[in-house]
Structure 1
Amino acid sequence: MHDLIEALLLGIIEGITEFLPISSTGHLLIAERWLGHRSDLFNIAIQAGAILAVVLIYRERLWQLAMAFLRPGHAAAMADARVYGQPPREYAYRLAAAFGVTAVLGVLVKKLGFELPTEVAPIAWALLAGAVWMVLAEQLAARRAAVLGERAAITWTVAILVGVAQVVAGVFPGTSRSAATIFVALLAGTTSRAAATEFAFLVGIPTMFAAAAYELVDVVGSGEAAHEDWSALGVAFVASAITAFAAVKWLLRYIQTHRFTVFAVYRAVLGLALLALVPAAD
């Protein structure tokens, strides 16, 4: 029972933090210091739960983009065929470009043998640096929006930079993939918070699916899956999916009328608290 409760907590942490701009990897690495390290398969499962939640939320948009390829004539005739002012097929090409950049750079990082740090200190510093980056980026983005007006279209530049940002966030736990991608989009020309956030989340779907599949192949090949606690894994998967669904739904409503400042404050407070606890934690 104790193990199931720990799995439940880890699933909830993953679900809440995966798409909020506060770093899921950083939170999980810290949580595992007290709740115990989990297998790679377990981590894949809770990430898959979060991905499933976002797929369900954006199911209509994903269907629209799929139809743009499968039935382009039908999609073009639809009144809602455009995605933030762009034809669905054009928007989908931008998504593919962002994912392609992430895939190529991600494989390169893997080949170089990069491993995530397990110490608290670098995660804490990344949280603090990310807090400062978010405040400055939002100020710059607001000034650009005042000058350029509302721009929701995703350009090729935005798509490529979002792809790079995903890899940078993966290399430095505590950075936050969603924070990096959303603010890169805002600074690169997409002044609409809603449009930048949706593109960042949609790019995250194939990226996270690919990363989970890559890790799953290794796990199955190593025989690790045979020793997995499937009850705990199932509990964590469901908890992650439910909490991610609620967290993303809340965030999409929140950003309609609020800035991201509250997340920057949270990151700063957490980062400082972790630095204060580093001697005890390590």
Structure 2
Amino acid sequence: MDDLVKAVIMGIVEGLTEFLPISSTGHMIVTGKLLDFTGDRAKTFEVVVQLGAVLAVLMLYWKRFMNLLSFNLKKPGLNILHIIIGMFPASVLGLVLHGFIKDYLFGPKTVVVSLIVGGLLLIAAEKIRRRPSAETLDDITYRQALGIGCFQILSLWPGFSRSGSTMAGGMFFGVKKEAAAEFTFLMSVPIMLGASGVDLIKSREFLEWSDTGLFLTGLLASFVVAMIAIVTFLNLLKRISLTWFAYYRFVLAAVVFFVLL
């Protein structure tokens, strides 16, 4: 199969799964194995293609980002400090553990375990969630932002899911799941930009200019699909429980186990 076709497929998978609590990284690893798209270049592609999803968030929430960039901490509601607090725990640990994560946690075996554990977390969040004290983004407190950020640490384990861990954390801390999802979208932008930048710098030794077309193709596919996925997911959250996503994770874990292991 041509590499550009693989890039389109991988981009679609990334855009579709990045903001769902089912682990985009887990899906990318599995898809890469099935497409025989592996190695150092593929690992970097899996990180950089997330920029397409980042652009989708920026496009859909550009007004919110413009307000955040005003750095007005006295204005009621969500501000840039909420985002900084939320992204701080996972950002620090991500930088410290970057090499370990790429060398030891990117693989089908670790993904199977994280899919199951992450699914159990979603079920627990639905079962023991508190009555929401934060109905919207602007109701989220600094304490809740920090709590969500601490849960985001779990997403450093490939297969766990950033949106799954943060939404569950938000529900444990009294944030309505739709608001927690949107906070995740906003918080993911600087984190994913940083992760992609660090990965590109550390991977410059084995990347070539000829890879540019491959990366841009995947990024574009990811952007288009993520635009659709974000809007669809937020509407879906109003109708269904996170438990259904947990069941999907269990099925996917079984598929990964029997097909790839």
Q: Normalising by structure 1, what TM-score?
A: 0.82
Alignment partner of 1:45 out of 33, 48, 60: 48
**Consecutive unaligned residues in structure 2, runs of 5 or more:** none
Q: Distance in 2 between matches of 1:122 and 1:42?
A: 19
Q: Are residues 137 and 235 of structure 1, via their aligned partners in 2, closer, same or farther at CA, if it must alter by over 3 Å?
A: same
Measured after TM superposition, the shift of residue 167 of structure 1 is 2.4
Contact 2:25 2:46 in 1 (8 A): no
Alignment partner of 1:134 out of 95, 104, 122: 122
Query: 2:233 matched to which residue of 1?
Result: 251
Aligned counterparts, 1:72-151, within 5 A: 86-88=76-78, 91-110=79-98, 113-114=100-101, 115-141=103-129, 144-145=130-131, 151=135
Q: Are residues 181 and 274 of structure 1, via their aligned partners in 2, closer, same or farther at CA, if it must alter by over 3 Å?
A: same
Q: Distance in 1 between matches of 2:48 and 2:98?
A: 21
Contact 2:109 2:257 in 1 (8 A): yes
Q: Distance in 2 between matches of 1:101 and 1:119?
A: 24
Q: Deviations over 1:119-145 (max 9, x none)?
A: 42321122122222211211211xx22
Query: 1:162 matched to which residue of 2?
Result: 148
Q: Distance in 2 between matches of 1:150 and 1:162?
A: 13
Query: 1:176 matched to which residue of 2?
Result: 161
Measured after TM superposition, the shift of residue 61 of structure 1 is 0.9
Moved more, 36-45 or 203-212: 36-45
Asked if 1:211 corresponds to 2:199, the answer is no
Q: Secondary structure at the match of 1:229?
A: helix
**Consecutive unaligned residues in structure 1, runs of 5 or more:** 77-85
Alignment partner of 1:200 out of 178, 184, 206: 184
Over alpha carbons, which structure has the higher Rg? Answer: 1
Measured after TM superposition, the shift of residue 175 of structure 1 is 0.8
Q: Distance in 1 between matches of 2:48 and 2:113?
A: 28
Contact 2:106 2:158 in 1 (8 A): no
Asked if 1:17 corresponds to 2:1, the answer is no
Partner AA of 1:176 in structure 2: S
Contact 2:134 2:140 in 1 (8 A): no
Q: Are residues 236 and 129 of structure 1, via their aligned partners in 2, closer, same or farther at CA, if it must alter by over 3 Å?
A: same
Measured after TM superposition, the shift of residue 50 of structure 1 is 1.1
Q: Secondary structure at the match of 1:195?
A: helix
Measured after TM superposition, the shift of residue 205 of structure 1 is 0.8
Q: How many residues align?
A: 255
Partner AA of 1:196 in structure 2: A
Q: Deviations over 1:135-166 (max 9, x none)?
A: 1211211xx22xx6664422233222222222
Q: Secondary structure at the match of 1:12?
A: helix
Query: 1:79 matched to which residue of 2?
Result: none
Q: Distance in 2 between matches of 1:201 and 1:117?
A: 24
Query: 1:60 matched to which residue of 2?
Result: 63
Q: Distance in 2 between matches of 1:41 and 1:133?
A: 28
Q: Secondary structure at the match of 1:67?
A: coil
Measured after TM superposition, the shift of residue 118 of structure 1 is 4.2
Q: Distance in 1 between matches of 2:144 and 2:134?
A: 15
Q: Are residues 121 and 56 of structure 1, via their aligned partners in 2, closer, same or farther at CA, if it must alter by over 3 Å?
A: same
Query: 1:229 matched to which residue of 2?
Result: 211
Partner AA of 1:131 in structure 2: G
Q: Distance in 2 between matches of 1:44 and 1:193?
A: 26
Percent identity for Structure 1 against Structure 2? 29
Aligned counterparts, 1:257-268, within 5 A: 257-268=239-250
Q: Are residues 169 and 202 of structure 1, via their aligned partners in 2, closer, same or farther at CA, if it must alter by over 3 Å?
A: same
Contact 1:116 1:173 in 2 (8 A): no
Partner AA of 1:233 in structure 2: F
Q: Secondary structure at the match of 1:247?
A: helix
Partner AA of 2:45 in structure 1: F
